[in-house]
Amino acid sequence: MHGRVETPFPIGSQERPDGPNADAVERAVRAALDEDCAADDVTTRWSIDPDARGRAELVAKAEGIIAGLEVARATFQIGDPGVRMLAHLRDGTRVRPGDVIAEVSGSLRSLLTMERTALNFLQRLSGIATLTARYCQAVAGTQAKIYDTRKTAPGLRALDKYAVLVGGGHNHRMHLGAMVLLKENHIAAAGGVEAAVRRVRANMRKENRELKIDVEVETLDQFRTALGLRVDWIMLDNMDPDDIDRATREAARDEGWKPTIEASGNVTIDTARRIAAAGVDVISVGGLTHSAPALDLSLLVR
C-alpha cells in the first residue's frame, strides 16, 4: 500500500453504519449499468482479448474520507460475478494521494467496462463523506449535530444519506412520509403557522398516526407562535446569528417544552461554528449531498 492511511475517521456518537441498504445498492447499480449500456461496450469488446485476465488498483488521488466500497464491489459483481474486489480499507477511512484503497481482479474486459460506473459511485459518496466530516469538525465541541436534507440525487437517496453517516453526520427525514415538515409554502398555503399546525394535528388524529412536526420559521414572531404550539422541531430558516441567539434563549426559558431547534439555509463551513455556538441542536446542510465535490480516485490496471 502506498502512502500512510490513518485509522477510520471517528463519526462521533453515532455507531458506524454497517453499509448502505443492499436493495437500494442493487437498484442503483443496475440502473447505472443499464444507463451506460455496459452490455455493449464496443471499445472494450473490440480492443481487449475475451480471455485476458488481470487486476487493477483503486487509488486515491486526493485526501478525503472513503465511502461506498460495497457499492463499488456490487458494481463489479453485478456486471460480472467472476470479478473479485479486495478492499484494503473500510468506509470511513481517511486517505491521502497514492493510497491503494482496493484491488479488483478478473476479466480485463469486465474491469474496464465497469470502471467508470464503480468510480462514479465511489467518488460521489466519498465526496459527500469528506464534506460532511469537514462540517462536523467545524462544530466539534458544541451541542450541534450536522444533518442532511432531502436534496439528494434522484434515485440515490439511500446511498447519499449513508455517505453522510460515514462522514459523521446524521440523517434528517428519509422521505415525505417519515415526518411532518411545514415549510414556507405549506405555511403560506394553509394560512399561517398556527393554521397549518392545527390542520396537521387534526388530520393526524383522523389517520390515527403519530409523527413529529417540524415547522420552518423565518421570523422571531413565527418562532414564538411555533414554540407556543408545542411542536417537536422548529427550523430557523436563513435567520441571522443574533436572531438565532434570541430564539434559543427564549426556548431555554420555556420550562414547559423544549423542542429541537434546527438552523438551516445558506450554512457554510465558515458560518457553521457561529451558528452552533448560538445553542442550536441541529444544523441541516443541503450542500452535503447536492454540492459535495467528488473525491478524486482512479482505477489503474497493473
96 a catalytic residue: no
d(CA 274, CA 272): 6
Q: From the candidates 70, 148, 160, 237, which is the catalytic residue?
A: 237
Dihedral (C-alpha) 97, 99, 100, 102: value to the nearest 10 degrees? Answer: -90
Q: Is 236 helix (H, G, I), strand (E, B) or coil?
A: strand
Q: Is 151 known to be catalytic?
A: yes
CA–CA dist 49, 67 (Å, integer): 33
Q: Which residue shows C-alpha cell 470502471?
A: 115
CA proximity to 132, closest of 26, 248, 17: 17
Catalytic residue among 53, 183, 205, 209: 183
Query: Residue 301 and residue 212: Cα distance in Å, rounded?
Result: 51
- Choosing from 16, 90, 151, 199, which is the catalytic residue? 151
- Spatial separation of the C-alpha atoms in residues 130 and 136, rounded to whole Å: 10
99 catalytically annotated: no
The rounded distance, in Å, linking the Cα atoms of 218 and 7 is 42
Q: Which of 116, 201, 246, 274 is catalytic?
A: 116
Count the Cβ atoms, other than its own, within 10 Å of residue 247.
25
| 35 is annotated as an active-site residue | no
Question: Which candidate in 91, 216, 262, 281 is catalytic?
Answer: 216
237 is catalytic: yes
Catalytic residues: 116, 151, 183, 216, 237
